[in-house]
Amino acid sequence: MSKSKLEYIWLDGYFPTQNMRSKTKVEDNFSGKLEDCPIWSFDGSSTRQAEGGSSDCLLKPVAIYPDPARRDGYLVMTEVLNADGTPHISNGRATIEDEDNDFWFGFEQEYFIMDRKTQLPLGFPIGGYPAPQGLYYCSVGGKNTHGRDFVEEHANLCIDAGLNFEGINQEVASGQWEFQLFAKGAKKAGDEIWVARYLLDRLTEKYGYYIEYHPKPLGKDMDWNGSGMHANFSNTTLRTCGSQEVYEKICEAFRPVVKEHIAVYGEFNDQRLTGDHETASINDFSYGISDRGASIRIPIITVEKGWKGWLEDRRPASNGDPYKIAGRIIKTVKSAGY
């Protein structure tokens, strides 16, 4: 009889920034298939998802991946349900309106690697600051590059888990990195970002680090870049229309619902969206071709291909929930009639 370790991963009820939780279920002779993952339960009173007198919440498996760091292990992404089987209020995945997977998303997840002993980003000396920004972005060499072994190991884990992992690079600030994931289908894209984050956070336990997803961890008044999670998105219309007019109509649909987007784009994002450091002001809305200072960037490749491609919403913060971000973007695009 073989035994497999299934790591059930879910999002808790903390608001506005949810945390990942997980626990292990050992199954006999497990097939490795999602349909054979049973619904499980947990104590919602310990995660701000239920009261103590009626504390059971359910975990519904929605995606499964091999766990590359665990013998006979699997990573099981789940949705949280109420005891009656309805989606829990904290379940952002259940609100996504993309049943035919027409929407494709590519997320660019930025983050800071923090030293657990110093509570500072890698490369920051105690009681001071490293050299100013400029030479860290896509750098090579021990003077400006910090954490490469950790980042490379995380990339290998994601690829071995079967995630559609598309790249890594050091970012503009010392100790700041980014990885990219792409998926056809908004729910799948969200699943893969959360599983990649899980692997990232779990890996820090071995290195003595932790990950800081705060969009401006060094302070809103410091002259250091913040962290975002740029959302590249398309649907059949954007991929095939060949029309500047259609692109502009879709972009304009975002203008009257700025507050609705910002509400789900991540906590403390006002500290990052200042109009500086490659961001648009949180108080404005703009779009432009190849403009990294705009709210929405129209990639130059999209224009060169005859207005067939995708758009990039640059406003989501690094701590945002990809389920909620994708769900809001889909709703706005559909409101434009596409």
Q: How does residue 330 score in pLDDT terms, banded at 50, 70 and 90? A: very high
Do residues 126 and 264 both lie within one domain? yes
CATH number at residue 61: 3.10.20.70
CATH number at residue 159: 3.30.590.10
Answer yes or no: is 271 within a domain: yes
User: Which residue among 43, 66, 91 closes a domain?
Assistant: 91
Average pLDDT, the chain: 96
Q: What is the DSSP string of 120-143?
A: EETTPPTTS--SPTTS-TT--STT
CA distance 165 to 172: 21
Q: How does residue 204 score in pLDDT terms, banded at 50, 70 and 90? A: very high
CA distance 129 to 115: 14
264-293: pLDDT as tens digits: 999 999 999 998 878 899 989 999 999 989
Give the containing element (helix H, strand E) for 202: helix 186-207
41 touches 108 (CB < 8 A): no
317 touches 229 (CB < 8 A): yes
- Name the phi and psi angles at 322, rounded to 5: -60, -30
User: Which residue among 91, 124, 147 closes a domain?
Assistant: 91
Do residues 61 and 164 both lie within one domain? no
Q: Which residues are CB-contacts of 209 (< 8 A; sequence separation ≥ 6)?
A: 113, 114, 115, 116, 122, 147, 150
How long a stretch of residues is the chain? 338
Do residues 148 and 258 both lie within one domain? yes
Do residues 114 and 35 both lie within one domain? no
Do residues 13 and 34 both lie within one domain? yes
Query: What ranges make up the beta strands (E) of 12-103?
Result: 20-28, 40-43, 56-66, 73-81
SS3 helix, strand, coil % of the chain, rounded to 5? 25, 30, 45
Domain total for the chain? 2
Please state, for a pLDDT cut of 70, what percent of the chain lies above it: 100
Please state, for a pLDDT cut of 90, what percent of the chain lies above it: 93
Do residues 153 and 35 both lie within one domain? no
Q: Is 206 helix (H, G, I), strand (E, B) or coil?
A: helix
Look up residue 309 and give its DSSP letter: S
Do residues 23 and 155 both lie within one domain? no
pLDDT, residue 149, reads: 98
Q: Which residues are CB-contacts of 119 (< 8 A; sequence separation ≥ 6)?
A: none
CA distance 87 to 59: 10
Answer yes or no: is 98 within a domain: no
pLDDT, residue 64, reads: 98
Q: How does residue 1 score in pLDDT terms, banded at 50, 70 and 90? A: confident
116-175: pLDDT as tens digits: 999 999 999 998 899 999 999 999 999 999 999 999 999 999 999 999 999 999 999 999
Answer yes or no: is 261 within a domain: yes
* Best CA proximity match to 327, nearest among 163, 287, 335: 335
pLDDT, residue 158, reads: 98
pLDDT, residue 250, reads: 98
- Answer yes or no: is pLDDT of 220 > 80: no
16-38: pLDDT as tens digits: 999 999 999 999 999 999 999 99
What is the CB neighbour count within 10 angstroms for residue 225? 21
Mean local confidence (pLDDT), 226-238: 98
65-94: pLDDT as tens digits: 999 999 999 999 999 999 999 999 999 999
Mean local confidence (pLDDT), 90-107: 97
Do residues 63 and 168 both lie within one domain? no
Do residues 231 and 133 both lie within one domain? yes
239-257: pLDDT as tens digits: 999 999 999 999 999 999 9
Do residues 59 and 138 both lie within one domain? no
258 touches 251 (CB < 8 A): no
Q: Helix 186-207 to helix 148-160 angle, to the nearest 10 degrees?
A: 140
Burial 126-161 (b: 16+ CB within 10 A, else e): eeeebeebeebeebeeeebbbbbebbebbbebbeeb
Query: Measuring CA to CA, how many Å separate 164 from each of 78, 192, 193, 309?
Result: 19, 8, 10, 19
- Answer yes or no: is pLDDT of 224 > 90: no
pLDDT, residue 309, reads: 98
* Location of structure tokens 């499980």: 40
Do residues 181 and 87 both lie within one domain? no
Within the chain, how many helices (H) and strands (E) appear?
7, 14
User: Which residue among 63, 91, 119 closes a domain?
Assistant: 91
Answer yes or no: is 313 within a domain: yes
- Answer yes or no: is pLDDT of 51 > 90: yes
Answer yes or no: is 99 within a domain: no
pLDDT, residue 189, reads: 98
Answer yes or no: is 97 within a domain: no
CA distance 131 to 300: 32
Do residues 239 and 265 both lie within one domain? yes
**What is the span of the domain harbouring residue 297?**
104-335
Look up residue 99 and give its DSSP letter: T
* Best CA proximity match to 296, nearest among 279, 271, 313, 316: 313
